[in-house]
Structure 1
Amino acid sequence: MTRSEEFQELRPLLFAIAYRILGSVSDAEDAVQESWLRYETSDAVPASPKAYLSAVVTRISIDVLRSARVRREAYVGRWFPEPLVSDPYEDPARAAELADSVSMAALLLLERLSPLERAVFVLREVFAFDFADVASAVGRSEDAVRQLAVRARRHMDEGRPRFEADRRERDELAARFFDAIRDGDVEALRELLAADVQLTADAGGKAPMWGRGIFGGANVARVLESTMPIFGQIGGTLEPRTINGQPGAILRDGEGRVLNTWSLDILDGRIQSIRAVLNPDKLGHLGPVADAWAVFQQGKDVRRPPV
């Protein structure tokens, strides 16, 4: 097998590692491409291309994350990961771990970790690399890596919800939620929202949004009840999709362009949070991006009573 063939076979895994470390589709793709350039020009003949390339993409991702952390400190408003519609890497034996680790909630928890802790957690807990390979990837001793893994796991466990929804129940509840929005069923909508549900958004200062967010079941229901019918009137569509391994949706304008994405957190039979990504810089990998300000103005025009 040629180097190019080895790399193409491992590309889905390399992207999956990089995305979980970086929380950015574009940065992950760049890290994977840089890994190929280094592999292509290297004289090394690794015994395990998988271990070698995983180490390379991990080191690149750690360096990128360190500089990204500085930029995120100056980010306007809330920062959410770039939405991922489909994870290119599949492993039936670890399907649950892979889906959970790519959720918006998990990626936001990973933001609490240092870059080294995050890389160790991703390699060890998500992809089950042995400690020797993790140590080689991050340039630390096995003992140091074990300590990093313990710290990272503790931080992640502290932030996880105590009870997680059954996947089938979660998907069924999400379907009912989107049906209620489509049908304008206000009572069904309110019943599906947790009392303390949060509707928050990442606009990056580049799209209209609802201040710091909408909080509480009654308030979130009111916003959805008032905005979604108007969104439909101006040709907007809501397309249920899996976003970051969880129930979600892509919202499109009247021309079919991507306006934003929603990702739902569902626990205890209720929707606990709706995270929307509106920053156009984070949506380009999903297709042509809508002008959110123009859509907002269209909605205002529909609301405005005729003169």
Structure 2
Amino acid sequence: MTRAEEFQELRPLLFSIAYRILGSVGEAEDAVQESWLRYAASPTAPVSAKSYLSAVVTRISIDVLRSARVRREEYAGPWFPEPLLADPYQDPERSAELADSVSMAALLLLERLSPLERAVFVLREVFGFGFAEIAPAVGRSQAACRQLAVRARRHMDAGRPRFDADRRDGERLAGRFLDAFRNGNLDGLRELLAADVRLVADSGGKAPRWGEGVVGAANVARTLAALVGPFTRIGGTVQAHRVNGQPGAIFRDRDGRVVNTWTLDVAGGRIQTIRTVLNPDKLGHVGPVADARAVLREAALARRAAG
């Protein structure tokens, strides 16, 4: 097998490692491409292409994350990871860990870790790498990596989100919720929302703040019911879609351009959190991006016209 063939075979794994460390589709793709350039330029072939490339993409991702920390601290409003529509890496034996680790809630929890803790946690807990492979990837001894793993696991376990054990139940509830939303059914929405549900938006200061900081079933239900009618009257559509391994949706304008995405945290038979990504810089990989401000202005006019 040529180096190019080995790399293409490992690309899904490399992207999945980088995305979990970085929370950015674009930065993860750049890290993977840089890994290929280093692999192609290496004068000697490694004993294990998987170990070598996983280490390279991890080191690159750690460096990128360190520089990104300052930008994220100065970010306008809440910062969410870029929505991921499908994880390219599949491993039936670790499917549960893979799905949980890519959820919005888990990625936000990973943001609390140091770059080294985050990388060690991802390699060890998500992808099952041994400490002998992790140590050279992060430039620490195996003993130090074990300590990093313990600290990271403690932080993650303390705040780990709880989702419904049966994902099919979660999907069915999300389907009922989206049906109620499309129909503007206020009572139907309210009964599917947790009492302390939160609707939070990431606009990055580049789009309207849909639902930033709306809390409570009654408030969130009213906000959503008021939103959907004008949006659909101007040709907007709401497409159910798994996002970051969770039930979610993609909002599109009349021309099919992406306005925003939703992810829904489902636990205890209720919607616990609705996270929407509106920042256009985070949506380009989903499809052509709409001007969310223009869409909202048109929807507001439609609402006033309807009386």
Shorter chain as denominator, the TM-score bin is over 0.9
- Counterparts of 1:238 and 1:274, CA distance in 2: 14
Residue 115 of structure 2 corresponds to 115
> Which residue identity is paired with 2:273?
S
Q: Secondary structure at the match of 1:264?
A: strand
The alpha-carbon deviation at position 182 of structure 1 amounts to: 2.1
Shift of 1:216: 0.6
Q: Which moved more, 1:2-11 or 1:176-185?
A: 176-185
206 and 56 in structure 1: CA distance in 2 versus 1, 3 angstrom threshold: same
**Aligned partners of 1:196 and 1:215 also within 8 Å:** yes
The structural deviation recorded for 1:151 is: 0.3
SS at 1:303 equivalent? helix
CA-based RMSD: 1.3
Aligned to 2:302: 302
Aligned to 1:278: 278
The match for 1:140 is: 140
Q: Secondary structure at the match of 2:285?
A: helix
Contact 1:206/1:279, CA 8 A, preserved across alignment: yes
C-alpha deviation, 1:105, in angstroms = 0.3
TM-score with structure 2 setting the length: 0.98
Residues 163 and 284 of structure 1: CA distance in aligned 2, closer, same or farther (over 3 Å)? closer
Q: Contact between 1:165 and 1:268, CA under 8 Å: does it hold in 2?
A: no
Asked if structure 1 preserves the Cα contact closer than 8 Å seen for 2:194 and 2:217, the reply is yes
* Residue in 1 that maps onto 2:20: 20
TM alignment of 1:38-77, pairs within 5 A: 38-77=38-77
2:247 partner amino acid = P
Q: Please report how far the alpha carbon of residue 131 of structure 1 lies from its aligned counterpart in structure 2 after TM superposition.
A: 0.9
Shift of 1:304: 2.2
C-alpha distance after superposition, 1:151-189 (max 9, x if no partner)? 000000000146644211111110110111123322221
Q: When the two structures are superposed, what TM-score results if normalisation uses the length of structure 1?
A: 0.98
Please state if 1:242 is matched with 2:242: yes
Q: Choose 63-72 or 185-194, whichever is displaced more.
A: 185-194
1:212: Cα distance to partner?
A: 3.8
Cα deviations by residue, 1:91-119 (Å, 9 ceiling, x for unpaired):
01111100000000000000000000000
Residue 208 of structure 2 aligns with an amino acid whose one-letter code is P
* Unaligned runs of at least 5 residues, structure 1: none
Structure 2: gaps of 5 or more residues: none
Distance 1:138 1:274 in 2: 34
Q: Which residue of 2 aligns with 1:206?
A: 206
1:26-62 deviation line (CA, Å, top 9, x unaligned): 0000000000000001112111000000000000000
What does residue 290 of structure 2 align with?
290
Percent of aligned positions with the same letter in both sequences?
72
Query: Measured at CA, do residues 98 and 302 of structure 1 come closer, stay the same or move farther in structure 2, by a change above 3 Å?
Result: same
